[in-house]
Amino acid sequence: MSEIGFISHPPPEPDFWIYFAKYLRNTWVQWAIVFVPFILFVLYLKLTMPSFHMNEKEHSDEQFKFRDMKGIRKRRNTMSNNSL
């Protein structure tokens, strides 16, 4: 009787979550869960943040101002030393 009942009513197919949970135990899936969002976040930042490209051969205005400030400080120091 149970054989006839089994044939007429086959067991249900395993649920999707059973297969999903099986893959969660794999090491590569666990690492992918960590790294894929991180890589996507890095790409998002790289593509959306403004970047200021500076050619290393060319000097920026800040570097010129910094050199001028060094010269001004030297002149101030020598002037103050001379006045003493």
**Contacts for 60 with CB less than 8 Å, ≥ 6 apart:** 54
In a domain, 26, yes or no: yes
In a domain, 53, yes or no: no
Pair of tokens at residue 42: 């890095």
Q: What is the percent of the chain with per-residue pLDDT over 70, rounded to a whole number?
A: 52
pLDDT band at 29 (very low <50, low <70, confident <90, very high): very high
Report the alpha-carbon distance of residue 11 to residue 5 in Å, rounded. Answer: 10
In a domain, 31, yes or no: yes
Structural domains of the chain, count: 1
CB 43 within 8 A of CB 37: no
Q: What is the mean pLDDT of residues 22-46?
A: 95
In a domain, 76, yes or no: yes
Q: Can you give the residue range of the structural domain that contains 38?
A: 2-48+58-83
CB 77 within 8 A of CB 71: no
What is the biggest distance separating any 2 CA atoms in the chain, rounded to whole angstroms? 118
